[in-house]
Amino acid sequence: MKRMNEYIPRYLDMHTETARLTIQLIRNYDRFKEQAEDLLALGVGIKTDGQPKGTSKSDPTARTAAQREKILAEIAAIDAGIQAIPEEYRDTIWKWVKEGIPLYQIEGSLYASDRTWYEYKRRFITEVARQKGWL
């Protein structure tokens, strides 16, 4: 479900491109989790024959670990953002922002007023952007 021209509401109180980038980062959460697991599996059992292969020093284990650390930083930023929301609102905010489900279609969205949901959506997206150093 690709939305290139998604409306960025003014209540987010951030530059449109920053908001779009942050939302795309959040929507890639599952992909980041998969990549981190794949890199962990890739790093296990790296075998070399002990023979030099060129003039550059290569450490595939270190390279894999560095890639995994970058991905884990993305996951941590998203996790910190959702943790900034009170627990009773997290599931609905997660579905609304990450999965792109309209608020009115999410079960339990009548639990609070629209104003409350918009405020927690703003806090979530803003906190993720802040964790990434974009704000």
pLDDT truncated to tens, each residue of the chain (135 aa)?
445 556 666 777 788 888 899 999 999 999 999 998 888 776 555 555 556 665 555 677 777 888 889 999 999 999 999 999 999 999 999 999 999 999 999 988 888 898 999 999 999 999 999 999 988
Examine residue 119 and state whether it is found in any structural domain, yes or no. yes
Interatomic CA distance for residues 68 and 32, integer angstroms: 9
Counting Cβ atoms within 10 Å, is residue 128 exposed (0-12), middle (13-18) or buried (19+)?
Answer: buried
Residues 6 or more apart in contact with residue 46 via CB below 8 angstroms: 60, 61, 64
DSSP state of 10: G
Examine residue 4 and state whether it is found in any structural domain, yes or no. no
The pLDDT of residue 6 is 63
Examine residue 5 and state whether it is found in any structural domain, yes or no. no
Interatomic CA distance for residues 70 and 40, integer angstroms: 13
In terms of residue numbers, what domain contains 107?
A: 12-40+60-132
Examine residue 79 and state whether it is found in any structural domain, yes or no. yes
Examine residue 87 and state whether it is found in any structural domain, yes or no. yes
The pLDDT of residue 72 is 93
Length of the chain in residues, anyone? 135
What pTM did the predictor assign? 0.79
The pLDDT of residue 82 is 96
The pLDDT of residue 43 is 56
Examine residue 7 and state whether it is found in any structural domain, yes or no. no
The helix (H) or strand (E) run that includes residue 130 is helix 114-132
The pLDDT of residue 58 is 65
User: Residue 45: phi, psi to the nearest 5?
Assistant: 75, 30
Number of folded domains that form the chain: 1
